[in-house]
Structure 1
Amino acid sequence: MPQPEDSLAPALRDVRAVVFDTDGVITDSARVHAAAWKVAFDDFLRAHPPEDPDQRRPFDVRDDYLRHVDGKSRLDGAAAFLAARGIESSPETVRAVAADKERLFTERLREQGVDAYPGTVRLVEVLRAAGVPRAAASASRHAGELLSRAGVLELFDALVDGGEAARLGLAGKPAPDLFLEAVRRLGVPADRAAVVEDALAGVEAGRRGGFALVVGVDRAAGADTGERLLRHGADIVVRDLGELCRGGGPQ
């Protein structure tokens, strides 16, 4: 008789726990984050244009988001993007841009809501049936709300969000602290667990943490996005997590 673990792709059959990033992996909230960052950064660039005209171009919701802010805390993301545009910013400036983004994100979240990716839900349910513990992790303080709104919070055994990271003094990605805390709460060592991430900083964090498997999720489907995820630390890259279930593909 087939066992639940038989429904998993071979790459996952030996792991004893899985930690999932939230934005862009479990929920489609990455698009809301990216849109909020674009308004916040574009407003700042118009008000404080860099000296170099080439650095005044608008924030790109795919490339700039992936390179500079995806997977990071608001403050780290704001600082990274401004530095990339050659802007010497004070802590006050970074906080102001991050606060503007937070306001915009919260407004959009209330108006639009978020959904969970069907392929991710399918994989999480297969893992649950196989008795594999699952954690959600996010640099965002909104992670619990996002998962609740998407109706999937109960599918996870643990959640480590931005609020918990701040309380515990966890370093942000690409440091592995967030994922290591999540897997610790599942009671499984990192070298027996997997991390699932869509951000370059996130897959790098999984690699630094010594996880047995780092899965990159290429939602952008860009010409080189998958290759970049591999270069930063992913062992494998999929377009949808339904590919890691028997039969493959999003459903």
Structure 2
Amino acid sequence: MPESLPDLRRADGVLFDLDGVLTPTAEVHMRAWQVVFDGVFAQWGITPPYTDADYYAYVDGKKRYDGVASLLRSRNVEIPWGTVNDAPEAETVCGIGNRKNAAFASALRREGIAAYPGSLALLQQLHDHGIPQGVVSSSKNAEEVLESAGIRDFFTIVVDGRVAERDGLASKPAADMFRAGAVALGVAPADSVAVEDALAGVASAAAAGFATVVGVDRGAGAPALRDAGATCIVDDLDQLLFDGTEPK
């Protein structure tokens, strides 16, 4: 029996994650992390090797430095945290995070990015119906990605990694970022919708009190998304498109 999906026209507002939900930048992030961690693991003799499963379990959806620390901790490796100004070559959490960011930024500028067609269609429908929209992303590159994809104007607010750092917001899966997104958009989580593909992001939205949390399965797996707090699962945002009739 098909899963019942929410009618987003009933929502006070919709808050979207970015990478893997609106744009395929999650794939660019994954490739950048693979290159960086392959190098780190080889240099330091860390085993077992880094895999995509590690990305979903320890990195996906988290702020960059938290992801580095979480992944290394999974291998019982502890290194100095360092500072945000560390050079990419520095053997610190921040250094490794900055190394990854340099690889991601280079790929983004070289290859460009476009929104998923289904996501773009949904953003346009919500805009046409006057539903407030915002982005809640752990990435510090969110504004650049939104501009590159040509979708920045759909969003009233963007709570990203830079905002989280400025305001001292804890990384997903803590509730902080989605809670801050709801406040910035001026909506109540219980009457709004969060859309996420990362386990940490789903858990963050659920913890922030969103009664409707749409999990977008781009690889994390439907069972894991449900366990994290997703109330429904889609493979693509085109499944959330609505017809021309008014909601009942």
Q: Verify the 8 A CA contact 2:133 2:155 in the aligned structure 1.
A: yes
Provide the residue aligned with 1:75 in structure 2. Answer: 65
Provide the residue aligned with 1:20 in structure 2. Answer: 16
RMSD: 1.4
Shift of 1:11: 4.2
Q: Any idea what SS the aligned residue of 2:194 has?
A: strand
Change (3 A) 1:214 1:42: same
Please list the CA deviations of residues 196-250 of structure 1 after superposition, one character each: whole Å capped at 9, or x if unmatched: 0000000000110001200000112x6xx11100000100010001001137xxx
Give the TM-score normalised by the residue count of structure 2: 0.89
Provide the residue aligned with 1:129 in structure 2. Answer: 128
Letter in 2 for 1:184: V
Provide the residue aligned with 2:217 in structure 1. Answer: 218
Please list the CA deviations of residues 170-196 of structure 1 after superposition, one character each: whole Å capped at 9, or x if unmatched: 111001211111121221111111110
Q: Verify the 8 A CA contact 1:22 1:136 in the aligned structure 2.
A: yes
Q: Which runs of 5+ in 2 are unaligned?
A: 83-91, 244-248
Q: Verify the 8 A CA contact 1:15 1:212 in the aligned structure 2.
A: no
Provide the residue aligned with 2:155 in structure 1. Answer: 156
Identity rate of aligned residues, in percent?
A: 41
Give the TM-score normalised by the residue count of structure 1: 0.88
Provide the residue aligned with 1:4 in structure 2. Answer: none
The 1-side partners of 2:167 and 2:192 are apart by 22
Q: Verify the 8 A CA contact 1:27 1:114 in the aligned structure 2.
A: yes
Provide the residue aligned with 1:202 in structure 2. Answer: 201
The 2-side partners of 1:192 and 1:10 are apart by 12
Runs of 4+ in 1 over 3 A off after TM superposition: none
The 2-side partners of 1:193 and 1:141 are apart by 24
- Residue 90 (structure 1) aligned to one of 80, 91, 100: 80
Shift of 1:89: 2.3
Shift of 1:13: 4.0
Shift of 1:104: 0.9
The 2-side partners of 1:12 and 1:155 are apart by 15
Shift of 1:56: 2.9
Provide the residue aligned with 2:168 in structure 1. Answer: 169
Provide the residue aligned with 2:102 in structure 1. Answer: 103
Q: Any idea what SS the aligned residue of 1:132 has?
A: coil
Q: How many residues align?
A: 230
The 1-side partners of 2:35 and 2:232 are apart by 33
Provide the residue aligned with 1:237 in structure 2. Answer: 233
- Residue 41 (structure 2) aligned to one of 41, 45, 57: 45
Change (3 A) 1:154 1:46: same
